[in-house]
């Protein structure tokens, strides 16, 4: 492991807005009250990477609580440090494997879920690792409050098509869907938040897919 990664791992140990692994389990069912010290809605960004979307959402919606979730601590470091430097109190980061979500959040505790540019896991043998595969959708259904939404934003046409296929198979409710976000009526201030990687995709003239659905 490089020196930068080691330094970042050491530094996030000191960050009040980062919770790692089993240390997050006592917050289950109590993230708003015990971690954020309020009763505001809780929103998750899964596979948040460097946390750009998480931090931007938190700045836009100060009366909601945002938690970026990823397993790579050196990535979380960037978002957590930005939130500290810019004084964003309603954002936190949880370093866990996403497949263990149910160990950290209670049924109905989450108001909304964002999945922005995840690894599409294109190989058929890795379908179960896709964050919109049925096994993950079942977890989201349990975590979300009734009527809570899942948002998927991706440059990968295959992952978008796969997700829509599963949504339709399971009889879920689609609130918005487009294969070309920035040439659609959905490109509002929230959906126009652009991460570093999204800017690269757009510079390569890649279309951005978006789907919003509920259970």
Decide if 34 is catalytic.
no
Q: Single out the catalytic residue among 16, 34, 119, 180.
A: 119
Tokens representing residue 6 in the block: 């080691």
> Which residues does residue 69 pair with via DSSP β-bridges, in sequence order?
46, 94
Tokens representing residue 68 in the block: 């970026």
- Rounded to an integer, what distance in angstroms lies between the CA atom of residue 57 and that of residue 193? 8
Phi/psi at 102 (nearest 5 deg)? -70, -15
Pairing mode of beta strands 91-95, 209-214: unpaired
Residue 7 makes CB contacts below 8 A (sequence gap 6+) with: none
> Known catalytic residues?
119
């Amino acid at each position: 492991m490089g020196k930068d990664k080691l330094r970042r791992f050491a530094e996030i140990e000191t960050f009040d807005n980062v919770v790692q692994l089993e240390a997050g389990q006592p917050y289950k069912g109590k993230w708003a009250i015990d971690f954020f010290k309020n009763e505001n809605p809780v929103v998750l960004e899964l596979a948040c990477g460097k946390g750009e979307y998480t931090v931007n959402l938190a700045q836009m919606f100060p009366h909601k609580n945002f938690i970026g979730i990823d397993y790579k601590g050196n990535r979380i470091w960037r978002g957590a440090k930005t939130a500290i430097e810019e004084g964003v109190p309603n954002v936190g980061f949880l370093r866990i494997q996403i497949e263990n979500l149910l160990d950290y959040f209670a049924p109905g505790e989450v108001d909304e879920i964002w999945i922005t540019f995840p690894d599409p896991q294109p190989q058929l043998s890795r379908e179960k690792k896709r964050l919109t595969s049925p096994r993950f959708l079942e977890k989201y259904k349990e975590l979300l409050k009734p009527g809570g939404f899942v948002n998927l934003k991706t440059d990968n046409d295959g992952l978008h098509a796969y997700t829509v296929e599963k949504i339709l198979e399971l009889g879920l409710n689609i609130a918005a869907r487009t294969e070309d976000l920035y040439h659609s009526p959905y490109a509002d201030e929230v959906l126009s938040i652009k991460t570093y990687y999204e800017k690269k995709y757009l510079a390569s003239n890649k279309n951005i897919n978006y789907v919003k659905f509920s259970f």
